[in-house]
Amino acid sequence: MEENHVFDRHCQKFFNCWLKIVSSGDQNKDGCLDFNEFTKYLKEHEKKLRLTFKSLDRNNDGRIDASEIQQSLAELGIDVSREDALKILQSMDIDGTMMVDWNEWREHFLLYPGHNLEQIIRYWKHSSVLDIGDSLAIPDEFTEEEKSSGGWWKQLVSGAVAGAVSRTGTAPLDRVKVFMQVHSSKSNRISLVGGFKQMIVEGGPASLWRGNGINVLKIAPETAIKFMAYEQYKKLLTSEGKKIETHKRFMAGSLAGATAQTAIYPMEVLKTRLTLRKTGQYAGMFDCAKKILRKEGVKAFYKGYIPNLLGIIPYAGIDLAVYESLKNTWLSYHAKDSANPGVLVLLCCGTISSTCGQLASYPLALVRTRMQAQASLDASDQPTMTSLVKKIVAKDGFFGLYRGILPNFMKVIPAVSISYVVYEYMKTGLGISK
């Protein structure tokens, strides 16, 4: 009886695996798996298995041992004992060496539909690491193990601290960007050097950091709200237990960004006003908020909200699309020996994708900033988004919508570099990276 029970269990397990293979490989969705589809499935599956094998093989000796299994699982938030690691190894070990080579790994997993790609995904996470001052990127994904072990909040804290240091380091470039967005025109050309000179003459070197305090302060609430909203939107858009598809990830990320921006937008307005303030105009953040409220009312805290919201879609969409394309291109051509792309490749992919996203959304960012700054310019009329765009194009031409983009681009590489280095140090300090 016991033998029959074991046989039935193995048959059921094989049947379930086969159903998953048919489901994964059936490209024309006719419910059948023909020879060509099966061959293609095996090739793709073998490629993914090789990437995973290379990720686990830390010392690149062509074999996986118990310590490498322990280390890889620990980085995913799963702590296993030496004995458990040996048991995992033994289940794959054919020749009794207590080490698993590529052939043993392939033999064990080739006809099993699952493949652990979490380690590869970990290499390619980028949005919480690369902070360029505009929090419009799609949030990071976290594994169930990271969520249950608490590793997710440590990564969010690391990202927030990295963003704070990065934004402080590049604050002068950010301030001159805002200054040029609002004040520069064909009749009043302001160069990068000229902008710096005007600000230093008016308020001294310390004035280059005006508005940075609230720019740093809004990182934590925005990150937390965006992450929590993203998790909820993912649940609404995907079925239980299924991996989120790229287009649904974009939708969930855009909705989460819109939710976070709606909650913290008054801080965005305060940041712009404080960035553009003259010496002695405001005593601080609270004084600025009180004066705006008294003079202009609650509506003033949502000036430029529509273009800001619209800017999330091109920024997040292009950032995600470019990053995914660069990642897949690298994996296709260079992932034969290792799934780890290295720091330089990651930074290049993140920098290029973020820059492309900024390029697409910059006109909306400029319009938003102009609308936020209207009262500080003592404008008697309050133009709408469309009338402001028409006015800028009529007065300065199409490229008038890109005023201040030079310092914006100049800050990308130092911002990315600073945030990456600080992020890595923070992860080490919080015990989530060795």
Residue-wise pLDDT for 138-193, tens only, equals 676 776 666 666 677 888 888 889 889 999 999 999 999 999 998 888 778 888 99
C-alpha 320/C-alpha 96 separation (Å) is 45
pLDDT digits (tens, 9 = 90+) for 203-228: 999 999 999 999 999 988 988 888 88
Say if residues 121 and 212 touch (Cβ distance below 8 Å).
Answer: no
Residue in this structure with the two tokens 């989460």, named with its chain if needed? 256
C-alpha 66/C-alpha 56 separation (Å) is 10
At residue 317, does pLDDT exceed 50? yes
pLDDT confidence of residue 393: 92
Q: How far is CA 186 from the centre of its chain?
A: 36
CATH architecture entry for 2-115? Orthogonal Bundle (1.10)
pLDDT confidence of residue 148: 67
Most confident of 23-32, 359-368, 373-382, 422-431: 359-368
| CATH 1.10.238.10 domain extents, the chain | 2-115
In this structure, whether the domain defined by 124-429 belongs to CATH 1.10.1740.10 is answered with: no
| CATH 1.50.40.10 domain extents, the chain | 124-429
At residue 367, does pLDDT exceed 90? yes
